[in-house]
Structures are given as structure tokens and as C-alpha cells.
Structure 1
């Protein structure tokens, strides 16, 4: 069993949590490799142990059986694309704040031992394919585990978009933008914008307007087979911006459209602890009601 340990050095100072996890796993008989989830920012001084051998995720994932991420949800989201591409299940250990997608907290590292013997279950999470088109030309393409957010820039007063499902108009939005989310992403920005909480193992595409100026603009859950299109009006001189899973923003111009559909691949999240989705909501978010 080869397990790749990928730790966010800004969340896991000195990689202390990852190194403790490595001791637990190797004692149980697993082969482990340590990687950083991303290239550190230029000029940053990281608190990394001397003489520690670190590898690269793109080198290790093709031969990995399992990936463990140490950090917040952003660390898991960052790793999800590549891990899913190689069919590698992901387990998250929370060293951030909420850590909604993480399976374990840093105090629960002894629970990792059964992984060395393949004793775990896998939960599939739907993903979204996201494309930006200008006419017939594809300008940008990515995959989302959480969401695709189309929003106004700091200089724009409002964002104006149309949302279509299979080329049929669903709603027009005048406001701050729109979020197209997976069930996994329903507890992220979509929830904060007033969208529904959806069980993460279900299938559906959630459309949530952000600060809409119309009473009729309401969050909707569409069938997973729908092709959702967010269309920018032609002749609109205001730029909007697309961000996929909180990544770098892509600028959109008038007439551009963003096409979003269910991805063929699904992210595999490892489950060890016997906690239901509702227990996690109560623990992380303070419950569904007061």
C-alpha cells in the first residue's frame, strides 16, 4: 500500500501533523511519500525540517494507492483534479478551520492505521466540467469539485447574466453573480449566499444567485444530466470573472458563455470515522436550527 502524504506547509507548520501520520502509517506497514501540494510562494520562508526528502505530487500520484491531504478544504480541492485523474482516493486531515471535507481532525491520527491494510470505504462525489466559450472557441476549461462562481469585478456595479438549462432559460440575474455548485459545494459559498444544503453523495447541479436584485431569482437544484449555460449579454462592456474551486479568476467579456455539466469522473473521498453527514453539519456548522 503506497500512501502519498501531501501537507499544506502554511497550515501544518513544520509538517508536524504529516510526520506524525507517517509514523502511524509506517508502523502499520504502509509505504509513504511526503509531498507539498503546491509550489511555495517566492520568497516565503517555510518551517520545514532539514534533511527531509520531499517529492512531487505529479510524480507520485500515478503509482499511489491513496492520497492524504493535510490542511483545510482548499488543500483537498487543489488536489482533487489530479487525484481524480489518476483514480486515487483522497482522505483529508483538517489542520485548518472548518475543514468540512476532511475526514479526520489532527487529534485522530491513530485512526489512520487501518489504511495500511486497505481497510476503508470510498464515497464518490460528483464533479463539474466547466468551459468558457467565445463563439465556438474554447478559451478555458477546468473541473470543479465544489463550484464555479461567476461574479462582478470590483469596478462593476452589478453583474447581468442569463442562466439556461439545455438551452432553455431558467432565470435572469441582476446582482453580484451566480454560483453553480455540486452537492459537495452546497455547504461552501453557495450556502453562504442562501443556497440549499444538499447531501454530498447525491447528484444534482445547484444554481444560486448572489445578492440578486429580483425577488424571482431563487436558488434551484437541477437534474445532474442538465447542461447549464451562463450567458453574458452581448454588447455588455462590464467584465465578469469566473473562478473554479476558488482558483485564479478568468475574465469574461460580453457575449461569452460558461457551459457547465456533470463530469464523467468523480472524486473518491475516503471514509474511516463512522459519522453521518448530519453529525458533521452539527459539529462544523452549529446545526441546521438553533
Structure 2
């Protein structure tokens, strides 16, 4: 097994946790390489060990059998797109606060041993294709594991957003914006905005208004084959911002629309701990503890 260990250097100081995992996996017979999940910010001085050999993630993914991410949910989301496009399963080790998508905590590294012999199972997670159209022509495309978030970008105004499903308008929202989420993303921003919690292995699209100024505005759960379109009303001169999986926001105007559909790609998340989805939400989201 060739395993990539990709650690967020801002959370894993000195890459100590990643290096401990590297020692455990090599002792168990795995071939490992160390990568950073992203290019560090210019001017940042990172606490990295001297003489440490770091590889480029994009060069290692085509040859990898597994990717282990050390960080928070953002680190996993950042890696999900490229790992999925290469068919590489992901295992998350939580180095953040909640780390809802992470399978293990930093104190559970001994559970990594079976990975060296390929002894693990994966759970497939639905993803979204997110396309921006201008004048009927696609101008950008992205892949989301969690959500596509549309926001007004200003505290001083209210956004008016139309949500369509297969040529039928299903909502016109007055408020701060709208979220279109996967079941995996149902426990992220969508939940905070009042959306439902959905089992992550489900297949559906979740449309959640954000701070709507309407009593009738409610979250919707749509069947997975719907083509959801989010746009400003015709003639509206305001603008929206779109962020996919927490990435850099892009500005949308009245002449643009965003189409969101279930992707043919599915993220594979490794399961090792045996904890159920309901144990995780109760533990990490402050639910009932028996």
C-alpha cells in the first residue's frame, strides 16, 4: 500500500502527528510519502522539521492507494476534489475543533495499522457538480462534497434569490442567501441555518434558506436527479457571491445562473473506528449522551 500523509502545517505543528503516523505505518509495512495539502501563504514561517522530504500532492495522487489527511474538515474538503478525481480514498485525522468528517482523533493513531495491508472499508459520499452559466455558456465548473453557498456579501442589504428545480420555481427567497448541500454537508452550514440532518450515505439535494425574511421559507429535500438552478430574478441589478466547499467566493450578477446536479463522482471516506453516524453527531454536535 502506497499511502500519502497530508498534514495541515497550521494545525499539526512541526508535522508531529503526521510523522508519528508515518512511523506507525512504515513499521506495519506500508510505503508512505509526506505532502502538504496546499501551498503555504506567502511570508508564513512554518514550523517544519529540517531535512524533511516533502512531495507534491498533485504528483503523488495518481500513484497512491490512500490519502490520510491531518487537519480539520476544511483540510479534508480541500483534498476531496483531487483525491476523488484520481479514485483515491480519504481518511481524516482530526486536528481541529469539531472535525466532523474525520474518522480518527489524533490520540487514535494506533488504529491506522490495518491500512498498511489494505484492510479497511469505505463509504461513498455523493458530490455535486456546480456550473456557472453566463448567457447560456458555461464559464466555470466545480465539484462539491459539502455545499454550494450563495450569500449577499453585505450586512446592509437583503438578497432576493430564485431557486428552480427542473424548470419549476420552488422558492423565491428574501434574506441572506441560500445553501445547496449534499447529505454530507447537511451537518455543516446547512444545519446551522436550520436545515435537516440527513444520513451521509443518502442520495438527495438539500436547499436551505439563510436568515430568510419570510415565515414560509423552509428547507427542502429534493430527490437526487433534480437539476437545481439558483439565480437572481430577471432584471435584478444586485449581485450574489458563490462559494463551493468553503473556497474562494466568486461574484455573480443578474446575467448569470448556477446549475447544480448530482455528480457522477463520489468521494470515498475510509471507516476504521466503527462509530456510527449517530454516535458521531451526539459526540461532536452536543447531542444526547447516554
Give unpaired runs (5+ residues) of structure 2: none
Please state how far the C-alpha of 1:215 moved relative to its aligned partner: 1.1
**C-alpha separation between the residues in 1 aligned to 2:230 and 2:277?**
30
Q: Which runs of 4+ in 1 moved over 4 A?
A: none
Residues 205, 221 of structure 1: 8 Å contact kept: yes
TM-score normalized by the length of structure 1: 0.98
The residue number in structure 1 matching 2:91 is: 91
**C-alpha separation between the residues in 2 aligned to 1:156 and 1:50?**
49
The residue number in structure 1 matching 2:165 is: 165
Matched, 1:197 2:197: yes
For residues 12-69 of structure 1, what are the alpha-carbon distances to aligned partners after superposition, in whole Å with 9 as ceiling and x for unaligned? 0000000000000000000000000000000000000000000011000000000000
The residue number in structure 2 matching 1:107 is: 107
**C-alpha separation between the residues in 2 aligned to 1:264 and 1:168?**
24
Please state how far the C-alpha of 1:83 moved relative to its aligned partner: 0.3
The residue number in structure 2 matching 1:240 is: 240
The residue number in structure 2 matching 1:135 is: 135
Residues 281, 288 of structure 1: 8 Å contact kept: no
TM-score normalized by the length of structure 2: 0.98
CA spacing shift, 1:25–1:259, aligned 2, 3 Å: same
For residues 113-153 of structure 1, what are the alpha-carbon distances to aligned partners after superposition, in whole Å with 9 as ceiling and x for unaligned? 00001110000000000011112121221000000001102
Please state how far the C-alpha of 1:203 moved relative to its aligned partner: 0.6
Partner SS for 1:115:
helix
For residues 196-218 of structure 1, what are the alpha-carbon distances to aligned partners after superposition, in whole Å with 9 as ceiling and x for unaligned? 00000111000000011111110
Give unpaired runs (5+ residues) of structure 1: none
For residues 188-240 of structure 1, what are the alpha-carbon distances to aligned partners after superposition, in whole Å with 9 as ceiling and x for unaligned? 00000000000001110000000111111100100001000012123222221
Matched, 1:61 2:64: no
Partner SS for 1:21:
helix
Please state how far the C-alpha of 1:289 moved relative to its aligned partner: 9.3
The residue number in structure 2 matching 1:148 is: 148
Equivalences, count: 290
Matching of residues 1-290 of structure 1 within 5 Å: 1-154=1-154, 157-287=157-287
For residues 67-108 of structure 1, what are the alpha-carbon distances to aligned partners after superposition, in whole Å with 9 as ceiling and x for unaligned? 000000000000000000000000000000100000000000
**C-alpha separation between the residues in 2 aligned to 1:156 and 1:199?**
36
Residues 232, 239 of structure 2: 8 Å contact kept: no
Partner SS for 1:55:
coil
Please state how far the C-alpha of 1:155 moved relative to its aligned partner: 6.0
